[in-house]
Amino acid sequence: MKKATITGELPGGFIGDLGQVFQGVVEGSEVALKISRHSGEKKIDGWRRELEKSKALSSLLPDTTAAYFDMVEVEGYETFPAFSMEIVHGYTVIDRKIGCLDAGCYRGLVTERTVEQLRSSLERAVSDGWHPGDVQYFILGREQKLNGRLRKCGDLILFDFSMWGIASDGDVDLYVQKLERLVGG
């Protein structure tokens, strides 16, 4: 397995229940590292499954996802399952918490274009047989290249596919209506 080293923290990297996300380096490249909070053999399968799902969705939805790389062994966390992916520079939206987020940092960033990106991505995923679960995404705070494409400020990038295909907490219209409330806000 490739070796990874943690080089720093990422804004929001400690939000999750199951994992923590750090900035790191693998073979000289800067990446984000998603590391399980729980160690042990049994946890590895779940982490591998999440990486495989993330890769599948990244090729199905190349415009609204980051690139996902490898299972890695993180220095100092050798017994904790981990994988690497591109770093996203954006503001996190967790659909189930959207009602209580501080809309301030999204001001001006969320437009009809952002909403359309959510709608078309989720529709595409659903028509491919996916059940989106615990939907989470970034709104980009600046222009950046992701998955080989230049993305603009305000563009939407889906992430954390751990519950996709397992649980579903809404239909596409419901997810879209919630984001729509942030347009022009």
Ligand X SMILES: Nc1ncnc2c1ncn2[C@@H]1O[C@H](COP(=O)(O)OP(=O)(O)OP(=O)(O)O)[C@@H](O)[C@H]1O
Residues at the interface with ligand X (CB under 6 A) = 10, 12-13, 15-19, 21, 32, 34, 66, 85-88, 92, 136, 159-160, 162
Chosen from ligand X, Mg ion, none, partner binding at 19 (C-beta under 5 to 8 Å by type): ligand X
Q: Which does 13 bind (CB under 5 to 8 A by kind): ligand X, Mg ion, none?
A: ligand X
Name the helix (H) or strand (E) containing 53. Answer: helix 41-60
What is the CB neighbour count within 10 angstroms for residue 74? 23
- Contacted by 159, from ligand X, Mg ion, none: CB < 5 to 8 Å by type: ligand X
Burial degree of 66 (CB within 10 A; 0-12, 13-18, 19+): buried
| Sign, Cα dihedral of 134, 49, 26, 150 | negative
The least CB distance from residue 161 to ligand X, in Å, is 8
Choice from 50, 86, 95, 160 touching Mg ion (CB under 5 A): 160
In the complex, the residues that contact Mg ion under the rule CB under 5 A are: 16, 160
